[in-house]
Chain A
Amino acid sequence: MSGTDTGATPTATTTARSTGARARSWFGPASSVLEANLTAYRRTWRSSVFSSFLLPLLTVLSFGVGVGAYVDQGVGGFSYLDWIVPGLIASTALQVAIGESSWPVLGGFTWQRTYYSQIAAPLRIADIVGGLLAFVLLRVLASAVAFLAVAAAFGALHSGWAVLTLPVAVLLAAAVALPVAAFAATIRSDSYMVIVFRFAVIPMTLFAGVFFPVESLPVTVRWLAYLSPLWHGVDLCRAASLGTTPAWSVPGHLGYLSLWAAAGWWLAVTRFRKRLIH
């Protein structure tokens, strides 16, 4: 056996190179886009620690501890701090995801124009979008893990199911990052992004059940909260963290978020293709 082994055992890549055929693996090229995003992140990760970890932590302190001292009877049998923490985990996941898929994607098309160089390389549109999505999900996972650890240190977690907030945060991130990236690929000026932030993102973070129960909203406005992906993430995370049953069915929540993610993927790929390949 060792006598005939010349070390030239054909592998998948050598076969591909020797035959000249572009035998693409499913994820391979997207991983190089992910690597590009991570390399760029090495420059900016310090400031993102501030915005995606320290600020949510300060929000927990200011609202959970500060305002919580004034909420005498708690919410649903739990202290305001314990009640607000899972909502903030979901909300932070959403804000990190949207933060990475709004202005950076817009910059990739208008100011830095990195996507034009990426499409000039042998990358498909799905690779570019896939690499972007992988980067966003990794960032969201990192910030969710950090937040969860801090929440555990505060004693705000009431059940072992709290670990499930991590996959929920990742699914929520995919559900919002893709449509926002698709939107960023459509517009030319960042004024429209500011409008989306002011009229969609910020109202969502304020009214989707993070700071006060959605049931307090008048019925006419409540359906808007139910339509938002954030509410579904918040309900799931809160149930997982407090060990209660969610207000809606778990498959219902997951299905809705998956629908947003799937539709977002389709939109992102078609919009990226329209912008990059005339």
Chain B
Amino acid sequence: MVTLVLPQMLGVGAAVRRAGSVMERNAAALKSAYWVVMISGVVEPLLYLFSIGVGVGRLIGDITLPGSGAVIGYAAFVAPAMLAASAMTGALSETTFNFFAKMKFVKLYDGILATPVRPTELAFGELGWAMARGSIYSATFLLVMVVMGLTTVPRALLAFPAAILVGFAFGGLGMALSTYMRSWQDFDLMGSAQFAVFLFSGTFVPAEAYPSVLRWLVELTPLYRSVHLIRAIAVDTVGWMQLVDVGYLVAVTVLGLTVAGRRVGRLLCN
């Protein structure tokens, strides 16, 4: 019995170790310009927070959240949504653009898959790296939110794992999507679609402000579910719908990773 089970157990440990080596490679490959690009990734959501949240917020004043009826300042309304959106863009850009470049041009994955690393472990490792980056961005953004008085420390501590979950969901989704991309034009299309979804994701106005057909479309998007989850945590209006949000994001993560692992294997290991 033990001789049957033990190899499987050792297998899992070895799989985690191999995924870890894939992550380690990414850290070792960082060069100076890439560091600045990485660090600058923190800046962009903060810019949106200051310009739209504070700048436009001066024109709006307070917003009443439909559903819970809580009244909050516009900056406090926009900030958690910007956290979700930046978790999304960080995870997506790392797992689509970089993933695609490494697979098709640098031919990195051909080399990695010649080692004992398996395609699913490769997917996990790449996603783990994307999440390591994303968690630094999220933590910094949450710190700024607390300093600006837009949320409290305990709520920020709860919002952090939520942001990580959002990152995993979009990371898995991004990897699955990028295995279907054929050229750089597909990326432009994806970037445009991402921005379009961002404009209508309940970030700048509540989803209830939209006409009903658009509103239900918006409610189905992963970005809206992420915004819904993180805003409820940051503003302290958590309810049962947030469990639905968490389940949705977990499902997206699992689906994305399964598809990505299988397709990378099919693309590179036939």
Contacts and interface: CB of A to CB of B under 8 A. Distances in A.
B60 A67 contact: yes
Which interface residue of B58, B195, B200, B205 has the most chain A CB atoms within 10 A? B205
Which of B34, B50, B58, B60: most chain A CB closer than 10 A? B60
Contacts of B63: 70
Interface stretch (A55-63, A144-152, A235-243): A55-63
A186 to B, nearest CB: 14
Nearest to A63: B204
Interface string A200-222: 00110011000110001100000
A262 interface: no
Contact of B51 (A51, A67, A211): A211
Interface string B160-203: 00000000000000000000000001001100100110011000
Contacts of B58: 212, 216
Interface stretch (A4-12, A190-198, A268-276): A190-198
Interface string A94-118: 0000000000000000000000000
A47 interface: yes
A51 B56 contact: no
A198 B52 contact: no
A203 B47 contact: yes
A195 B44 CA distance: 11
B213 interface: no
Interface string B32-73: 011011001101100110111001101110010000000000
A248 interface: no
A206 B204 contact: no
Residue of B44, B51, B199, B209 most packed against chain A (CB within 10 A): B51
Grouping DSSP codes into helix (H, G, I), strand (E, B) and loop, the B interface class, with mixed when no group exceeds half, is helix
Contacts of B47: 202-203, 206-207
B196 A191 contact: no
Nearest to B195: A55
B44 A198 contact: yes
A194 B37 contact: yes
Contacts of B185: 44, 47
Given A62-B204, A198-B44, A50 B55 contact: no
Contacts of B188: 47, 50-51
Nearest to B33: A191
B51 A50 contact: no
Contacts of B189: 47, 50
Nearest to A198: B40
B37 A70 contact: no
B52 A211 contact: yes
A62 B60 contact: no
A71 interface: yes
A66 B60 contact: no
Contacts of A55: 192, 195-196
A54 B195 CA distance: 11
A80 interface: yes
A141 B58 CA distance: 33
Nearest to A209: B55
A191 B36 contact: yes
Q: Which 5 A-B pairs have the closest CB atoms?
A: A191-B33, A206-B51, A212-B55, A62-B199, A198-B40
25 contacts: A47-B185, A47-B188, A47-B192, A51-B192, A55-B195, A55-B196, A58-B199, A63-B199, A66-B200, A67-B205, A71-B56, A71-B59, A80-B59, A189-B33, A191-B33, A191-B34, A198-B40, A199-B40, A206-B50, A206-B52, A211-B51, A211-B52, A211-B55, A212-B51, A216-B58
Interface of A: 44, 47, 50-51, 54-55, 58-59, 61-63, 66-67, 69-71, 75, 80, 189, 191-192, 194-195, 198-199, 202-203, 206-207, 211-212, 216-217
Interface of B: 33-34, 36-37, 40-41, 43-44, 47-48, 50-52, 55-56, 58-60, 63, 74, 185, 188-189, 192, 195-196, 199-200, 204-205, 209-210
